Chain A
Amino acid sequence: MENSNDNTSRYVQTMIAGLWRENPTLRLLLGMCPTLAVTAAVKPALTMGCSVIFVLVCSNIIVSLMRNLLKPHLRILMFTLTIATFVTIADLFLKAYLPRMSEMLGPYVPLIIVNCIIICRAEACASKNPLFVSIIDAVGMGIGFTVTLCVLASVRELLSTGKIFEVSLMPNAFVPWAALGMPVGAFITLGLMIGLVNIITGKKA
């Protein structure tokens, strides 16, 4: 009985770690390239987030299943091979079912292969932990990444176009702040978000 309680609290801890305490974007500062590149609007950010969740879960499953077979010198090679496979599959699915979104994201979908969040989770979690913990970890980290991307994208989309999800939200007098839709805006907004999170966590500690 005690054992199963321990397990449950471990799963919850793993999940929360991904969402907040070790949030990949805001706390670990991993996966900065897609974070800066696709957050000009909420839709592409959400698509990117979901693709990353898919790849992360699949790669963690495979890596966790073969963790006892991995030898140190083959480790990174196997991770990359696994990740590249699922990214290619995700890319094909986007091209087939969400062609417009796939065009908007352009090269950033294939670039998920080099997203360090995924290889970090394979190395730090999946290659050392049993299947279920690895899946929970992937889901937690993936959702943490997606939520962060969406928050960042909402701020940028709202201020640069006055819309969220292409629905107008701002009064007519609002003057769109085009710079926020450009890379400059991504850096500034992300910087402010990380600063804010540091203040919040600093106070708690």
Chain B
Amino acid sequence: MQESWLLIVASFFFGLLIAVTSSGLSPRIRQNEINKRNRLVSALLPEAKDFVPLDEQLEIQSPRGKPENIDIYKAVSEANECVGWSFEAVGSGFADKIKLVIALDKNLEKIAGFDVLASNETPGFGDRIKTDYYRDQYKGAPAGELKLVTVGEPGKIDSEIVAISGATISSEAVVEIVSNYVTQVKEQMQKKGIIGNGKQ
């Protein structure tokens, strides 16, 4: 028990030091996260000026049946009109989780695109899910079930996504995440009447 006062004093002092730093920096850190998501979504929905979260969260089931609550953001233009919707989506990739941000058009008919918020795919192979070659195939694709094919035309925009050669698992993972979230978000938003009347 000798000298344990040192441990107590030190813990208190260090705890205080971390608390002060954390409280000083946390608004900035939160802002960084928001900025990043907004920057990515702005590239997908060029008319968007602001992103307003819906009051209600949606519950999404993962393919393995795990429920998750997500925020849906309404993208509004300068004239305060709805130009699209966006939300974050997570799923298993090749080695680690893949975190995406997905944007849909205002009527939830088409996918406006996706971008990668965080991933740990193999450099040179799986991480090519971030390239335009792969991502452009989603821009304008129908908002519903997507299918991965290994042979096809990447330039043709439809529900068929052409896999990246050498990275079928990562390609499949993104298709699965997008299909899963988009179908459920669309279904729930229509059921709740958030969209469908053309205004909101």
Contacts and interface: CB of A to CB of B under 8 A. Distances in A.
B79 interface: no
A89 B2 contact: no
20 contacts: A40-B123, A69-B6, A74-B3, A74-B4, A78-B6, A81-B10, A81-B11, A82-B14, A84-B14, A89-B18, A89-B21, A92-B21, A92-B29, A93-B21, A95-B25, A95-B32, A96-B32, A97-B28, A99-B33, A178-B124
Contacts of A198: none
Contact of A96 (B14, B18, B28, B122): B28
Q: Is the interface of A mostly helix, strand, loop or mixed?
A: helix
Contact of A85 (B2, B3, B17, B33): B17
B36 A99 contact: yes
A189 interface: no
A82 to B, nearest CB: 7
Interface in B33-80: 33, 36
Contacts of A93: 21, 25
A174 to B, nearest CB: 15
Interface residues of B, number: 23
Interface of B: 2-4, 6-7, 10-11, 14, 17-18, 21-22, 25, 28-29, 32-33, 36, 118, 120, 122-124
Given A89-B21, A96-B29, A96-B32, A181 B124 contact: yes
Interface size of A as a range = 20 to 34
**8 tightest A-B contacts by CB?**
A85-B14, A99-B32, A96-B25, A178-B124, A96-B28, A71-B3, A95-B29, A92-B25
Nearest to A71: B3
Nearest to B25: A96
Interface in A150-205: 178, 181-182
A125 B17 CA distance: 25
Interface string A77-110: 1100110110011001101110100010010000
A66 interface: yes
B22 A92 contact: yes
Interface of A: 40, 66, 69-71, 74, 77-78, 81-82, 84-85, 88-89, 92-93, 95-97, 99, 103, 106, 178, 181-182
A71 B6 CA distance: 10
Nearest to B4: A74
A179 to B, nearest CB: 9
A40 B122 CA distance: 12
Nearest to A40: B123
Contacts of A84: 14
A160 to B, nearest CB: 8
Contacts of B123: 40, 178, 181-182
A71 B18 CA distance: 25
- Find the residue from A70, A71, A99 having the highest chain B CB count within 10 A: A99
Given A66-B6, A78-B10, 16 more contacts: A66-B10, A71-B3, A74-B3, A74-B4, A82-B10, A88-B18, A88-B21, A89-B21, A92-B29, A93-B25, A95-B25, A95-B29, A99-B29, A99-B32, A99-B33, A182-B122
A128 B160 CA distance: 67
